[in-house]
Amino acid sequence: MTNIPLSFLDLVPVAQGSTPSTALHNAAKIAQTAERIGLNRYWLAEHHNMPGIASTATSVLLAYIGANTNKIRIGSGGIMLPNHAPLVVAEQFGTLAALYGERIDLGLGRAPGTDGATFRALRRTMHDADNFPQDVRELMSYFSPLSDQTVTAMPANGLNVPVWILGSSLFGASLAAAYGLPYAFASHFAPQMLQQAVQLYRENFKPSAYLDKPYVMVGASLLLADTDQNARYHYTSAQQSFINLRRGKPQAVPPPIETMEGVWSPAEKHLVETAFSVSFVGSVDNVRPRLQAFIQGLQPDEMIVTCNIYDNDARLQSLELVPQLDVFSLNA
């Protein structure tokens, strides 16, 4: 089996009893560790009105990450385009590319990444998502070289900022295929349509000026520790966070607990296990064969993993163990 690149998706978790400032500084430590061990990309996800997520001002935080790293690709996983004017996104990511060169990725999602009240606070409407295909086209046009454009997105013109389509349904797969763009599937929390979406994308891909053949990156949760028990223990903080969100009570990331029994109902347990079915939690020896089987079955071009837990030292340790898996091609 050929090893594939590995990337990291950071939601910049805010732990209970801690502060957003600490979470933001932790993000730099995660990015530096990812760079040192040879990961391909470090991406940030845009979310709003969630006490446990500090990556709200995605492009601003990427500027901080860029200043604290040297070579790892950095980008959005993703910018929720219905929340923004395409011109502003082009200006922001053009600025990042002007500062940090061809290290910048621009992943775009169609979901609002928030609730209706926050959507209104952003001065957007739910119908803005209907314009996603046109908005993607408009955004990409701002990176074209200067010509007869009526509106210029300085300093984006002529800069190479790869655009990715993100999704968890067939819509994003179809759009990425039609536009000839790379595609990232959010199987780390919505894996139900993973197989169908990847197949649809590959079968319908149209080569473009951006990409000559399909390129698929799939998401997963990855938490490595010295023992299976220790990994499962730390992972309970992610499970609790998901339950809190589904109960309509999002909060800072709770500390881990010895067991989830008594915390979740049978229905909630099923919900979590379904949403997190593409998760690899355990020791290196336990996770390695499961990862190999997953990669062999789906044949992704790249994987992007997240680890949204309470203990940042455990997140760093998980990254440090990645080379021992020997299933990813890591940059020197």
Residue type, 255: P
Question: Which DSSP string corresponds to 141-181?
Answer: HTTSPSSS-SS--TTTTT----EEEEESSHHHHHHHHHHT-
Q: Which DSSP state fits 13?
A: B
Q: Looking at residue 126, what is its pLDDT?
A: 62
CB count, 10 Å around CB of 162? 17
pLDDT at 162: 97
d(CA 148, CA 137): 17
Query: Is the link from the previous residue into 155 a cis peptide, with omega within 30 of 0?
Result: yes
> CB–CB of 251/245 below 8 Å?
no
Residue 127: the pLDDT is 66
Mean pLDDT value across the chain: 94
Instruction: Output the pLDDT for position 114.
Output: 60
**Residue labelled with tokens 């604290």:** 68
Residues 6+ apart with CB under 8 A from 72: 31, 34, 35, 39, 40, 41, 42, 103, 331
d(CA 24, CA 14): 9
Q: What is the pLDDT of residue 179?
A: 98
Band (pLDDT 50/70/90 cuts) for residue 119 is low
Kind of pairing between the strands at 163-167 and 183-185: parallel
* C-beta separation of 208 from 165 below 8 A: no
What tokens does 68 get? 């604290």
Q: CA-CA distances (angstroms) from residue 72 to 100, 123, 270?
A: 10, 34, 37
Interval 282-294 mean pLDDT: 98
* Residues 138-187 pLDDT 10s: 999 999 887 677 889 999 999 999 999 999 999 999 999 999 999 999 99
Pick from 191, 264, 256: nearest CA to 230: 256
Alpha-carbon span 76 to 74, nearest angstrom: 7
DSSP state of 5: -
CATH architecture of residue range(s) 6-325: Alpha-Beta Barrel (3.20)
CA distance 14 to 294: 30
**Cis peptide leading into residue 180 (ω within 30°):** no
pLDDT of residue 128: 64
Confidence of residue 285 (pLDDT cuts 50, 70, 90): very high
Q: What is the pLDDT of residue 150?
A: 84
Tell me, yes or no, if the pTM score tops 0.75: yes
DSSP code per residue over 237-258: HHHHHHHHHHTT---SBPPP-S
Residue 218's pLDDT is what?
98
